[in-house]
Amino acid sequence: MKSLACALILLSVTSAAHAENTIAPDRIIDAAVGDWNKDGKPDLALLVLAPPDDETAIGIYIYLRDKEHQLLKLLAAAPDKVWGRGEPGGIFGQEPSIAAMPNGSIAVMSQNDAIGRDRWHQTLTLAFRNNAFVVAGFTYDYRDNLDPDGSYSCDYNVLTGKATKGGKDLKAEAKTIKIEDWNDDIGHKGCGENP
């Protein structure tokens, strides 16, 4: 009896872990097709809304075309990396998006252009380096609806450590960070902010 109870617990834990890694078709909110690894074959990147109990957590999933079978193969899974709202009928001005760039990189945009005095737009630029997707750039535009002098924009090249904020050059630490390990605080620090 004890071994049956242990088997049932193990089965439920395994099922729960498998359910967390499953992408439900109705949770995909945006997609981009491009040639991320420059092999001449179309690849795919998705933004996927987290389970219904977390309405603002969005994951990034990136697939490359398999060389032998021409099928898409998951290479990067970064759940809960993007803030935004993707529910139908959600709040306008808080929708994230993903796009293929002409140079083969991926742009992941998020925003709050709807609620409160703090309005912002953010873009993460992802690049394929050494068989992984890394954050190559962090662009952030901020505007305070009540204090026009409190607004700024920053562009941080994470790979080189060069940053520009409000037209002034900054020097930050050069980093190579996989999208799975990224945290937006890294970008804000590179822009001279204390998040």
* pLDDT 10s digits, 180-190: 999 999 999 99
Residue 10 falls within a domain, yes or no? no
What average pLDDT does this structure show over 168-179? 93
Structural domains of the chain, count: 1
Residue 14 falls within a domain, yes or no? no
Strands of 72-83's sheet, edge to edge? 28-34, 43-49, 57-65, 72-83
What average pLDDT does this structure show over 92-99? 89
Rounded-to-integer distance, Cα 79 and Cα 60, Å: 6
Residue 118 falls within a domain, yes or no? yes
Predicted pLDDT at 90: 66
Predicted pLDDT at 53: 67
Predicted pLDDT at 135: 97
Instruction: Say which residue, 4 or 139, is predicted with more confidence.
Output: 139
Residue 125 falls within a domain, yes or no? yes
Rounded-to-integer distance, Cα 48 and Cα 96, Å: 10
Residue 51 falls within a domain, yes or no? yes
Predicted pLDDT at 110: 93
Residue 159 falls within a domain, yes or no? yes
Predicted pLDDT at 109: 96
Question: For residue range 6-33, what is the model confidence (pLDDT) as tens digits?
Answer: 332 333 333 333 345 578 888 999 999 9
Residue 160 falls within a domain, yes or no? yes
Instruction: Say which residue, 148 or 79, is predicted with more confidence.
Output: 79
Phi and psi (nearest 5°) for 32? Answer: -140, 140
Q: Name the band, by pLDDT with cuts 50, 70 and 90, for residue 120.
A: confident
What average pLDDT does this structure show over 35-56? 88
Residue span of the structural domain in which 73 resides: 25-190
Which residue, 178, 164, 173, is CA-closest to 62? 178
**DSSP-derived 3-state class of residue 69:** coil
pTM, whole model, 2 decimals? Answer: 0.83
Rounded-to-integer distance, Cα 69 and Cα 113, Å: 43
Q: What's the token pair of residue 157?
A: 């090249």
Q: Is the pLDDT of residue 133 over 60?
A: yes
The percent of residues in the chain predicted with pLDDT above 70, rounded, is 86
Q: Is the pLDDT of residue 72 over 70?
A: yes
Q: Name the band, by pLDDT with cuts 50, 70 and 90, for residue 166.
A: confident
Residue 75 falls within a domain, yes or no? yes
